[in-house]
Amino acid sequence: MQRIYLDHNATTPVHPAVLEAMIPYFTAEFGNPSSAHRFGQRGRQAIEGARECVAALVGARSSEIVFTSGGTEADNAAIFGVVAHALRTQGKSAAAPPHVITTTIEHDAVLNTCRALEGRGVSVTYVPAGLDGIVSPDAIRAAIRPETALISVMRANNEIGTLQPVEEIGAIAAEAGVPFHTDAVQSAGKVPVDVNRLGVDLLSLSAHKFYGPKGAGALFVRKGTEIDPLLYGGPNERGRRAGTENVAAMVGLGKAAELARADLAEIAAHFADLRDRLEKGLLARIPGARVNGDPARRVPNTSNLMLPGVESESLVIALDLAGLACSAGAACSSGAVDPSHVLTAIGLTPAEARASLRFSVGRANTREEIDTALELIPAAVVRQRSVGPTQEMAAAQ
């Protein structure tokens, strides 16, 4: 059976060149990069080379890149780090506890971090997105208070792909003197990401979203931005992340960043061609189907469609049995009973959210695969609409 993978927002396969770059650091190049001898220093050199590649991808200095275990840790390090620094330096003399501004459509790595802060007495404002899945910069401006310690707004939404007006928000944050963080996990390798153009002070990346290894990520911390570390121990990562470095993962992230920077325009055009071919075909073939979120202001590889009359989790399983992988929402929420918080936040009813599928194309997808998908998906929708999700799954088994 032909297998078609259209879930690249969940994860991407490791690029062969990335794997090749990593392999030596599992074998001969095993030294601890904190060691002074040659074994250790070769590992240190590899890490610093990878750091330069990540910095180049986002337009930063290499000294501003902190390696992490992924996007979730990078988000936590940014948000907890800034707020912890504010709490430590302001102490009991502050007129009010620190205040954080974020949005209702953030990834759980941001939302749950903010909820944890609320449990510690920190005030959080959750700015809503519009029906188009985009947050208003004016709404961010209106939420700023004298005690606002951080603004965190994602660059690209992981479920619907919408690009947030980070540049405008960055200007607002700078004017107010408030540190600004963006989760760029779903935008790196799909659209240009430049920390200076965006006006951000902190930016999160995850390697496995752009053909690097799982368990590797990075946080950009602009020079002069103060954060307290999440982990305490040795002086690794300039004191910002203690622990012996995962050299192989860092090298893999660096190579993935190098590849993403080298052919970004070409790959983005490839993504858009396949995404649009799939989306137009499905809209034409499935009565009542519609795009969730703004159809223009989004990353080029992502399409989130509401397909009335279906139950998305059952449809995902039915499509998997037919050889096609897609998603009912964020990978981190797979199997959740509740409808997508992103889709309900932009105005979909719970039933509409449960009838929505996310398709995200990647480097290796072809037009031929898309054409096959255009046969499989409408057929699965017709079956489910005619017999219902429970009966369809029973028949498939």
Residue-wise pLDDT tens digits, 327-344: 997 555 445 568 999 999
Claim to verify: residue 42 and residue 163 sit in the same structural domain: yes
Claim to verify: residue 101 and residue 224 sit in the same structural domain: yes
Claim to verify: residue 254 and residue 283 sit in the same structural domain: no
Q: Give 158's contacts (C-beta < 8 A, 6+ positions apart).
A: 9, 107, 185, 186, 330, 342
Query: φ and ψ at 221, to 5 degrees?
Result: -125, 105
Token output for 125: 């404002």
Number of Cβ atoms within 10 Å of the Cβ of 15? 20
Q: Which domain holds residue 363?
A: 4-12+264-396
Domain endpoint, select from 262, 283, 298: 262
In 3D, which of 254, 261, 262, 308 has the Cα closest to residue 283?
308
C-alpha span between 207 and 212 (Å, rounded): 5
Q: Give 259's contacts (C-beta < 8 A, 6+ positions apart).
A: 15, 17, 18, 211
Claim to verify: residue 253 and residue 342 sit in the same structural domain: no
Q: Give 157's contacts (C-beta < 8 A, 6+ positions apart).
A: 105, 133, 164, 186, 293, 298, 342
Q: What is the CATH number of the domain that holds 268?
A: 3.90.1150.10
Claim to verify: residue 223 and residue 272 sit in the same structural domain: no
**Annotated catalytic residue 332:** yes
Tell me the mean pLDDT in the region 139-153.
98
Domain endpoint, select from 208, 227, 262: 262
| pLDDT per position as a tens digit, 287-328 | 999 999 999 999 999 999 999 999 999 999 999 999 999 999
Claim to verify: residue 202 and residue 328 sit in the same structural domain: no
Claim to verify: residue 220 and residue 307 sit in the same structural domain: no
CB 348 within 8 A of CB 328: no
Claim to verify: residue 292 and residue 241 sit in the same structural domain: no
Give the count of domains, the chain.
Answer: 2
In the chain the beta strands, taken as DSSP E runs, fall at 4-5, 65-68, 99-103, 123-127, 148-152, 180-183, 202-206, 217-221, 290-291, 302-306, 324-325, 356-360
Annotated catalytic residue within 53, 114, 326, 332: 332
- pLDDT value at 90 more than 50: yes
C-alpha span between 379 and 386 (Å, rounded): 11
Claim to verify: residue 109 and residue 216 sit in the same structural domain: yes
In 3D, which of 31, 52, 29 has the Cα closest to residue 255?
52
Claim to verify: residue 193 and residue 271 sit in the same structural domain: no
How would residue 280 be classed by pLDDT, with cut points 50, 70 and 90? very high
Claim to verify: residue 380 and residue 250 sit in the same structural domain: no
Q: What is the structure's pLDDT at 244? A: 92
Token output for 68: 């992490």
Q: What is the structure's pLDDT at 390? A: 56
C-alpha span between 198 and 205 (Å, rounded): 15
Number of Cβ atoms within 10 Å of the Cβ of 323? 14
Domain endpoint, select from 262, 279, 311: 262
Q: What is the CATH number of the domain that holds 40?
A: 3.40.640.10
Token output for 386: 């005619």
Claim to verify: residue 76 and residue 207 sit in the same structural domain: yes
